């Protein structure tokens, strides 16, 4: 069906010096990594019939029916979500989502074969690639609240080996797609109350990280990221891997810093951090998430925070160096819908940023015409952005806003509602 508003929108943007057609082409080249753990409430498949994980700073709230119980169901749900999202994208896996055949496989013993099914599925569905995460939570050797910074050398060694194995698997995944896999590392290490050993924990974490990354490169098919956090459940007073710690570590070791939008103080601007960090690092990983009063991993929506971040990413002129992924889990609503909302919100934010006449705005600012800049920015808020997004959805063969939820409801009735 023709989009009657597209031509008018294209002309309106052209009058502002913006090529809407070029913006759509650029958007197609922006893959977003879909987080597998939204589909089963961070449960994983280490044990048959296992429920959602709880511990290590994580908790999925809610009990909406239809949670994926195995890899087949999870992949079916992800396929449904991706069928409602325009563009070509990636999928992000945690180590606990391997296919272990019902056999006990501890985390320091995972191998490529446990993820062959995921690679075959992703290639068959022409995904852009796979990303990977070590899983250092919800495990007996994480029960102290510490992993890579634990006082026990044996505990640290176990987790060092786990991350090494995960990086090997990630490099193999990247090679299968001839497209680098991003391996991201987040650990739950911290304390509920104050500690007198901040320096000790951080020294041990540096030692463990150096054992993982030093001299263990995996070529061009693996990119490493490290993810900080402000606080978590059980680590309200102290987090070993704070923003300052991991930013300094990433820059000094030439790794990629990960900025999770829910891992900072509510008044902090994550968008502001992009241009502050990019001069010192080659790439940045961004996790689209939404904190509500605290780091609560709410579904990403088309809000000011996400729009500001996308705008800054485009304004830097280095969008190709900023990798976008989802990181949230909401068990209180339809999980497939949660994926679709977050993916579409992230893409809409990028498209809106691509439709900004940035050079013209810069020219007004450089000329000192700040009133003119403000007036232009205000006028952009009523531009027919929705018609451009609708055109992109039509070209990609997915429903526009206001129509895709019917498909999710039908899938819920036919598939999700029949799960025990």
Contact partners, residue 112, CB within 8 Å, separation at least 6: 168, 169, 172
Cut 0.85: pTM above it = yes
pLDDT of residue 381: 95
For 282-336, write each residue's pLDDT tens digit. 999 999 999 998 778 899 999 999 999 999 999 999 999 999 999 999 999 999 9
Residue with tokens 């900072």: 264
pLDDT of residue 52: 57
Question: Is there a contact between 380 and 16 (Cβ–Cβ < 8 Å)?
Answer: yes
Type and span of the H or E element at 295:
strand 294-298
Instruction: Please compute, for residue 36, the number of CA atoms within 13 A of its CA located in the half-sphere on the CB side.
Output: 27
For 368-406, write each residue's pLDDT tens digit. 999 999 999 999 999 999 999 999 999 999 999 999 999
Residue ranges in the chain modelled with pLDDT below 70: 1-2, 48-57, 216-217
CA neighbor of 239 nearest in space, from 143, 147, 154: 147
Cα dihedral sign for 229, 235, 236, 242? negative
CA-CA distances (angstroms) from residue 183 to 76, 88, 131, 167, 174? Answer: 24, 20, 6, 6, 10
Instruction: Identify the burial level of 168 via C-beta atoms within 10 angstroms of its C-beta, where 0-12 means exposed, 13-18 middle and 19 or more buried.
Output: middle
Kindly state the percentage of the chain with pLDDT values over 90: 90
pLDDT of residue 216: 64
| CA 43/CA 15 separation, integer angstroms | 51
pLDDT of residue 56: 62
CA 284 to chain CA mean position, Å: 12
What does the angle CA 221 – CA 224 – CA 230 come to, to the nearest 5 degrees? Answer: 155
| CA 194/CA 233 separation, integer angstroms | 14
Copy the structure tokens of residue 134: 């070590």
Question: Is there a contact between 72 and 127 (Cβ–Cβ < 8 Å)?
Answer: no
Active-site positions read 186, 227, 229, 260, 263, 287, 295, 297, 327
DSSP assigned state of 303: S
Residue with tokens 């089963």: 40
Residue with tokens 């999980």: 335
| E strand map for 95-219 | 129-133, 181-185, 190-191
Length of the chain: 420
pLDDT of residue 1: 54
pLDDT of residue 346: 98
> How many CB atoms sit inside 10 A of residue 87's CB?
20
Domain boundaries, the chain: 31-369
Classify domain 31-369 at the CATH class level. Answer: alpha beta
């Amino acid at each position: 069906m023709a989009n009657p508003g597209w031509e008018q929108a294209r002309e309106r943007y052209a009058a502002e010096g913006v090529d809407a057609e070029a913006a759509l082409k650029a958007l197609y080249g922006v893959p977003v990594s879909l987080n597998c753990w939204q589909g089963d409430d961070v449960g994983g498949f280490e044990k048959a019939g296992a429920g959602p994980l709880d511990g290590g700073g994580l908790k999925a709230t809610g009990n909406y029916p239809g949670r994926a119980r195995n890899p087949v169901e999870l992949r079916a749900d992800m396929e449904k979500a991706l069928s409602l999202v325009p563009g070509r994208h990636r999928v992000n896996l945690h180590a606990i989502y391997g296919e272990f055949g019902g056999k006990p496989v501890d985390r320091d013993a995972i191998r490529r074969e446990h993820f062959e099914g995921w690679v075959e599925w992703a290639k068959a569905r022409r995904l852009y690639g796979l990303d990977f995460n070590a899983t250092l939570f919800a495990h007996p050797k994480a029960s102290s609240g510490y992993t890579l910074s634990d006082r026990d050398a044996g505990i640290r060694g176990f987790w060092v080996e786990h991350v090494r194995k995960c990086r090997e698997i990630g490099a193999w995944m990247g090679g299968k797609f001839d497209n680098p896999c991003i391996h991201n590392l987040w650990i739950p290490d911290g304390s509920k109350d104050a500690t007198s050993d901040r320096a000790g924990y951080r020294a041990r974490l540096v030692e463990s990280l150096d054992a993982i990354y030093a001299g263990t490169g995996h070529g061009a098919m693996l990119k490493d990221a490290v993810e900080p956090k402000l606080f978590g459940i059980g680590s309200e007073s102290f987090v070993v891997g704070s923003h300052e710690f991991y930013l300094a570590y990433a820059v000094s070791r030439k790794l990629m810093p990960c900025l999770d939008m829910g891992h900072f103080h509510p008044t902090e601007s994550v968008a502001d951090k992009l241009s502050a960090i990019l001069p010192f690092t080659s790439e940045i990983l961004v996790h689209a998430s939404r904190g509500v009063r605290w780091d609560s991993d709410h579904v990403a929506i088309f809000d000011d925070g996400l729009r500001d971040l996308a705008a800054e990413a485009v304004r830097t002129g280095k969008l190709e160096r900023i990798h976008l992924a989802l990181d949230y889990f909401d068990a209180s609503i339809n999980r497939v819908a949660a994926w679709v909302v977050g993916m579409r919100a992230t893409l809409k934010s990028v498209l809106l940023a691509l439709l900004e006449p940035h050079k013209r705005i810069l020219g007004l600012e450089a000329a000192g015409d700040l009133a003119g800049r403000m007036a232009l920015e205000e006028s952009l808020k009523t531009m027919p952005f929705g018609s451009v997004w609708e055109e992109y959805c039509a070209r990609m063969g997915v429903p526009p806003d206001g129509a895709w939820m019917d498909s999710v409801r039908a899938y819920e009735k036919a598939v999700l509602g029949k799960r025990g």
